Amino acid sequence: MVESKKSVVISCAGLGSRLGLATTKALIKFNGVSLIGLQLELLREVEDIRVVVGFQANDVIEEVKRYRKDAVFVYNHDYFNTKTGASYYLGAKDGYEYAVGFDGDLLVHPDDLKKLLDTEGEWIAYADRSSDDAIMCKVNGKGDVLSFPGREGDYEWTGPCCIHKGKLRYSSGHVYNLLEPYLPMKGVLVRACDIDTYDDYQRAIEFVKSW
């Protein structure tokens, strides 16, 4: 079977207001390295990286270029009124056949990220709950994702995910809202840390140390 080419779409357009550090989450530091820098180091083998920018766009672009001068930048001009669903669509629409959605506030263990990138077809990644403000997903015995029931469920929806770009539509909602019409989908359990609050950030620092 010929492997389908994938683009990785990193959504970095949001304000990161819940974190309380007056910066977009892509630029927060881990031992002197930005979050987007850590992500790009882990994604260095990926051919097509697309970074969706909005808030502090120039700063994010400058930081990304330190790691990937060939990254494609896509603007979400309505970042104040939209969530990650819009950024995922905008970043994916001119990329390869399959689009891996990767939030700019997410860290995935390097071993698990490699496993995801090597997984063919469509999938949704999820993790044991660790975030203060988690959206949960419900899975069946095979690990397939059945639904996103909100605050109650089996695992935390953290992403990443991978879906054919033709299934994505412009939306002001979240990425999981774009995935819901196509459930059930193959699920993959990973070690991951989603950063929404300052306490999440502190847990993420320890998570990165564990690598």
Question: Residue 2 above 80 pLDDT?
Answer: no
- Spatial separation of the C-alpha atoms in residues 101 and 138, rounded to whole Å: 20
pLDDT per residue over 32-69, tens digit each?
999 999 999 999 999 999 999 999 999 999 999 999 99
What's residue 183's pLDDT? 98
Which residue carries 């930005």 as its tokens?
34
Q: For 3, what's the count of Cα atoms within 13 Å in the CB-facing half-sphere?
A: 7
The fraction of the chain above a pLDDT of 90, given in percent, is 85
What's residue 24's pLDDT? 86
Dihedral angle computed from the Cα positions of residues 179, 183, 189 and 190, in that order, rounded to the nearest 10 degrees = -10
Q: Is the peptide bond before 110 cis (omega within 30 degrees of 0)?
A: no
What's residue 18's pLDDT? 62
Per DSSP, 56 falls in state B
Question: Residue 3 above 70 pLDDT?
Answer: no
- Looking at the domain that runs over 6-209, which CATH code has it been given? 3.90.550.10
Phi/psi of residue 93, each to 5°? -65, -25
Domain boundaries, the chain: 6-209
What's the one-letter identity of residue 125? A
pLDDT per residue over 118-144, tens digit each?
999 999 999 999 888 889 999 999 999
